[in-house]
Structure 1
Amino acid sequence: MALRRLGITGIVVAMTALLAPSAHAAGHTLAVDVGSPFRPVTHVASGGLYALAENGRPADSTLLPIKMNTLTQPPPGVGQKPNGQPPGGDGLLVAPQADRVGAGEVIRMPDIYPDFPYKWVSWDDWLAKVDTMVSRRLAAGSVSNVAAWEIWNEPDGTWNTAAAGDFNAGWTRTVQRIRTRDTVTPVAGPGYSHWDATRMRAFLVNAKNTNTVPDVVVWHELGHTSGSVAADVAAYRSLESSLGISPRPIFINEYAWTDEVDVPGRVANYIAKFERAGVWAADRAFWYEYGTVNGLVVNNNQPTGTWWLYKWYGDMAGSMVTTTPPAQTGLDGFAAYDPTRRRADVVFGDEAGTNSVRVSGLGAMGGTVRVTLESTPASGRFTAVAAPTTISDSTYTVSNGQITVSVPNMSATSAYHLVVQPTGGVPAYQQRYEAENASVFRAQRLSSSSASNGGYVGRIDNSGDPRSDSYVDFVVNVPETRTYTMTIGYANGTGAVATQGLAYNGGSWSTVSYPPTAGWGKFGATTTTTVNLHTGYNVIRLAKGAPYFAGGTGYAELDYIQLN
């Protein structure tokens, strides 16, 4: 998204003026049920359009703590001049950094053009550009984290029907052209500027009839529309089912309007609704400078107020748990529970005055809990915030498995973070990392009653092609530089020893062996190795296939890693 897009659609222009955030009535309660997990923590909304720029901007140190999930970056040979800035953010040039921090990339193809709205030249010109982009990607043999080609962006406002013909026919023609060279990389679309049931139906009918249904379905949620996320996702799922199309991952690759994207309270509202709706990924919209994750960092990689919200999000592990807001607008939040640390995290906001958070399902924490409450302000994109503000650090008595925490003097623009832990026996650092919480490339998150926290990663395969090889990246945070014993929980139903590659922080590869176990999805077996990690964040990769690794043998399913 770019500021000059404000001229595209009249209704979107009006939304900023008519639907500016306002303080809501105070005295509401956000309900959190720690005992009702509904999906693994995958940090679905930690992503951004044009988030990275060449030459390592922003620094890895600002990206690792927020557990980047997806990036939408321009294509190789980018021509787009975002808001008058020089072209930048070439998806292949930033791929090494994205890879270092465990993020997947979706490449936005029409940003090969310099202008927005895009200026159509001809079909010969466009198809030649498609050929060039695909050829450059195929030549980049060490790039393994491209998740999809995004065929077009906001065709409801940027496709030149008079010159290029019907968009749906153009989609088919473009996908078919890509498939003459690249039959592996998924395609994503249609990328409408907002949910539009009529357009989406016509698009999907054509795509099904021409065998070009997108692998990833994309639209945008902008302009104070967070309240419609659940309804939009439900409408898509109903349409998909009615057309006999198998469920596709939903990617909201632009969210939050200009006066929302730097407001932590509003961002918390969006993330809460994306998590509950079950989207695959969501990226912060691009309005200003690229290479800052759209306003999360400023002045030599200093965090803004909104960065801290994503840091709290990045610290979540285990499972997302149910949150129930008092209404579709105003106070809302998202929460996670990590059973190995017995830690609950709640991030919330978008409400003023004195409000409450009621946390239930706390029976496993004992009779008393330590409750820490902190906040981060809407500092804007040019003011650094060195740390959140601690509001309180208290001990609460658990009654009937729950506590209610009053949060006084809330600002509607700030975000708040509640951490609930047992009063004793809290681990000094996170030691266990669930595979289903990690960055998973071309494998599947699955469930099993015998798996740690109920989830694992399976169908880990390799073909010798970095576009389809499977690997899992664990972003870990350790307190000191030393050698750690790494225990891997796994299953291997082949009846023979399986192997995977192990590398950390981009270093050399070694091999991990997995002796056979009782069967697939039956966990309890472990294998151990050692890793040399430095203080702070490290990335540990377990791979069946990956660049610079010849490939593993057999099959092994990953449950967790534990560092001691």
Structure 2
Amino acid sequence: MAAVAVGVLVAAGVVTATTDAVSAAATTTITVDYGSDRGAATQIASGFLHGISASSPAQYLVDGVKVRSQRGADYHPNLPSLYDPATYRRVSATGANLRVGLYYYSANPNSPYRNYRPGDNGNFSTWTTIVNGVMSEAEQKGYRVNAWIPWNEPEAQWGNLYTTTYFQAHKVAYDAVKARNSSYRVEAPELSAYNFTKLQQFLTYCRDNRCLPDVLSWHELNPTPTDVPGHTAQIRSWMQANGITPMPIAITEYQGSSYGNADAWAAGPNVRWLAQFERSVPNGLEDALASDWDYIGSDGNFIATLGNSADKATGTLPKGVWWNYNTYKTMTGRMVDVTSSSATTVDALGSLDTGQRRGVLLIGNQTSGDQGVSLRLNNASALASSDVVHVRAERVANTPTLSTPTVVLDADVALSLGGVTLALGTLPGSAVYKVLVTPATASAPVTRYEAESLSTAASPGQTGRVFTEAGASGGAATALDGTAAGQYLQFTLPVSTSGVYHLRALLKSNINRAFQALYVDGVMVGPPQDEYGNAAYYAADYGTLSLSAGNHTLRAVAVGRNPGSSGYSMVYDRFDLVRVG
């Protein structure tokens, strides 16, 4: 039989706390209220500046996050050019909102206007020609552009001409865009930092000259977050008091202080950035895009790294911060209230999806020192089975590359009056806890699929071979003796009953194993897995997903390898579907 009903893959007793004692002197309490509703979960801060090109980063790194928005150039000698068909297709396939700068002609060596600046000698007609040319090419190619950006960081680039020549250049561009298609959106002013006075000046001019942008934008570039909710609330309130209907807001670059500084990809502080953006949604925030500090734009070695979240050298391995965005992708359903007893020390954000039967949480250490973390779950009965929930917590290190977070808790936990307090332990400097809360698994019905009994396929033309080897408990396992990234091992999984399932697999570690991602019916699910290690078996957890009755395709793709691995092989012993809904 390919599938049999069995007990859960990872046996776990019901516990009330972790065994990892909090050793740090100070402890921050994170409180999650699953009875609250902070609005739809849309991954609003999962945007990227110059994040994807035709060739980088590796596809699984793109598939493993929600690419909500990308801002970029039409043409540039080093940066990803969104008007390059291959780049456009790859970015567009993510469903991202595309934001195109109209000003990149100044960096394009093939542009006849390269040395022109709007307003030179009183000439704005050339600027109109440039703007129309960029839009014309997009229309001819059938490109979908969400917003047009006249200029970048104008108060820094135009200096004392900000309130004169730049304002005129904005109006000329605005008029050209709207004359072409009134539904096209203009995004401005793209200030280099939040500046209340300069935004007031810009908006007053635009109100009086009928060129208010469709999206108001600026950057928030600091090692740690400033008061983004305060900024968005302040400018929204001012607009309401000054005869301007508030428009959506976009923060089109965030996190980091300068090129090459690690604060741009610090994982712990990144959590507070994400949390601050989610708290700014009631103030009109529409999108937030991570900065791009790995390479300066004039560097001919530039590669796209999804906002500094892939390794700079190859773009094939995730940095610690990538795991934040991978977890953020699973924050579906509704956002919930998450509070911290010391948010500038440890901050967090979380979601609840009752349909997918999961609560997802990110907790980030904002400091460079160890911090103790206590987690309080309130009103968690919506996720419980007989007053018990399952909690899986993993620690994400703030490292240049990270293939495996550390599991600190994976157990059923009893609730008391719908809640429970857990001591998660010590969180190192700039590190993160990712937490998944689902219904209890110890007594849940489980269907087990022995890998060798499933219909199996592999990537065509591969030089590796598919075979069976000894599995756990005397059974067999299905293996791919892979030789290169991109090869895959595929299974057909028959599901008898539609429902929500917690998907787990038993994998075998070794020194020649691949770093791999699992795709279910063509969609990457859960985190990637690193099989590199000793010869022991280990349980891979892919989280919850809805599966209809019928056959489903599971494809395990070798996406890379741990720096210590000598090969790309994969070994699957079995799959478990734990029925949770």
Q: TM-score range by the shorter chain?
A: 0.5 to 0.7
Report the equivalent of 2:182: 183
1:18-72 CA distances to partner (integer Å, 9 max, x unpaired)?
Answer: xxxxxx973111211111111111111111101011x242243221221110001
Report the equivalent of 1:216: 215
Q: Write the letter of the residue equivalent to 2:50.
A: Y
Q: Write the letter of the residue equivalent to 1:415.
A: V
Match of 2:290 among 284, 287, 296: 284
CA distance in 2, matches of 1:483, 1:148: 43
Is contact 1:349-1:414 (8 Å) kept? yes
Query: How far has the Cα of 1:120 moved from its partner?
Result: 5.4
| 3-state SS in 1 of match to 2:359 | strand
Is contact 1:72-1:107 (8 Å) kept? yes
* Change over 3 Å in CA distance of 1:205–1:479 after alignment to 2: farther
Query: How far has the Cα of 1:98 moved from its partner?
Result: 1.8
Match of 1:99 among 86, 92, 112: 92
Report the equivalent of 2:135: 134
Query: How far has the Cα of 1:104 moved from its partner?
Result: 1.5
Q: Write the letter of the residue equivalent to 1:90.
A: L
Query: How far has the Cα of 1:485 moved from its partner?
Result: 11
1:58-106 CA distances to partner (integer Å, 9 max, x unpaired)?
Answer: 243221221110001112xx24x6xxxx343335532211221221211
Query: How far has the Cα of 1:263 moved from its partner?
Result: 1.0
Query: How far has the Cα of 1:219 moved from its partner?
Result: 0.9
Q: Write the letter of the residue equivalent to 1:295.
A: N
* TM-score, normalization by structure 1: 0.67
Note if 1:330 corresponds to 2:350: no
* Change over 3 Å in CA distance of 1:58–1:277 after alignment to 2: same
| 3-state SS in 1 of match to 2:38 | strand
CA distance in 1, matches of 2:195, 2:204: 14
| 3-state SS in 2 of match to 1:324 | strand
Query: How far has the Cα of 1:335 moved from its partner?
Result: 0.2
Report the equivalent of 2:403: 386
CA distance in 1, matches of 2:105, 2:213: 21
Is contact 1:373-1:392 (8 Å) kept? yes
CA distance in 2, matches of 1:213, 1:484: 56
CA distance in 1, matches of 2:214, 2:196: 18
Note if 1:255 corresponds to 2:274: no
Note if 1:304 corresponds to 2:305: no
* Change over 3 Å in CA distance of 1:399–1:411 after alignment to 2: same
| 3-state SS in 2 of match to 1:183 | coil
CA distance in 1, matches of 2:320, 2:224: 22
1:136-181 CA distances to partner (integer Å, 9 max, x unpaired)?
Answer: 111112x23x210012111110126559943222211211122232
* Change over 3 Å in CA distance of 1:91–1:306 after alignment to 2: farther
Match of 1:374 among 363, 388, 394: 394
CA distance in 2, matches of 1:72, 1:100: 15
Note if 1:399 corresponds to 2:416: yes
Structure 2 counterparts to residues 20-59 of structure 1, below 5 A: 26-53=26-53, 55-59=54-58
Is contact 2:218-2:251 (8 Å) kept? yes
Structure 2 counterparts to residues 436-447 of structure 1, below 5 A: none
Query: How far has the Cα of 1:131 moved from its partner?
Result: 2.1
Note if 1:315 corresponds to 2:330: yes
Query: How far has the Cα of 1:213 moved from its partner?
Result: 1.2
| 3-state SS in 2 of match to 1:211 | coil
- Note the residue ranges of structure 2 that are not aligned, 5 or more in a row: 1-23, 109-113, 296-301, 448-489, 500-520, 524-547, 557-580
Note if 1:422 corresponds to 2:458: no
Is contact 1:52-1:89 (8 Å) kept? no
Query: How far has the Cα of 1:479 moved from its partner?
Result: 8.6
Query: How far has the Cα of 1:251 moved from its partner?
Result: 0.8
- Note the residue ranges of structure 1 that are not aligned, 5 or more in a row: 1-23, 430-477, 488-503, 507-528, 538-563
Note if 1:88 corresponds to 2:89: no
CA distance in 2, matches of 1:201, 1:427: 60
Query: How far has the Cα of 1:270 moved from its partner?
Result: 0.3
Report the equivalent of 2:554: 535
Structure 2 counterparts to residues 441-480 of structure 1, below 5 A: none
Q: Write the letter of the residue equivalent to 1:138.
A: E
CA distance in 1, matches of 2:492, 2:250: 37
Report the equivalent of 1:545: none
* TM-score, normalization by structure 2: 0.65
Q: Write the letter of the residue equivalent to 2:270.
A: V
CA distance in 2, matches of 1:163, 1:206: 12
Query: How far has the Cα of 1:192 moved from its partner?
Result: 0.8
Total equivalences in the alignment: 414
Query: How far has the Cα of 1:482 moved from its partner?
Result: 8.2
What is the identity percentage for the equivalent residue pairs of Structure 1 and Structure 2? Answer: 24
1:319-346 CA distances to partner (integer Å, 9 max, x unpaired)?
Answer: 1111112245221111011102331111
Is contact 2:215-2:249 (8 Å) kept? yes
CA distance in 1, matches of 2:550, 2:237: 47
Structure 2 counterparts to residues 142-161 of structure 1, below 5 A: 143-144=143-144, 146-159=145-158
Query: How far has the Cα of 1:484 moved from its partner?
Result: 12
Is contact 1:60-1:101 (8 Å) kept? no
Note if 1:192 corresponds to 2:195: no
CA distance in 2, matches of 1:410, 1:370: 21
Report the equivalent of 1:544: none
Query: How far has the Cα of 1:200 moved from its partner?
Result: 1.0
| 3-state SS in 2 of match to 1:412 | coil
Query: How far has the Cα of 1:376 moved from its partner?
Result: 1.3
Is contact 2:72-2:80 (8 Å) kept? no
CA distance in 1, matches of 2:231, 2:131: 31
* Change over 3 Å in CA distance of 1:44–1:481 after alignment to 2: farther
CA distance in 2, matches of 1:47, 1:483: 35
Report the equivalent of 1:271: 274
Report the equivalent of 2:381: 363
Is contact 2:395-2:427 (8 Å) kept? no
CA distance in 2, matches of 1:393, 1:240: 49
CA distance in 1, matches of 2:430, 2:221: 17
Q: Write the letter of the residue equivalent to 1:411.
A: P
Report the equivalent of 2:236: 237
* Change over 3 Å in CA distance of 1:232–1:125 after alignment to 2: same
Q: Write the letter of the residue equivalent to 1:273.
A: Q
List structure 1 runs of 4+ shifted beyond 6 angstroms: 425-429, 481-487, 529-533
Note if 1:110 corresponds to 2:127: no
1:320-373 CA distances to partner (integer Å, 9 max, x unpaired)?
Answer: 111112245221111011102331111011253212121111122142222111
The structure whose Rg is larger is 2
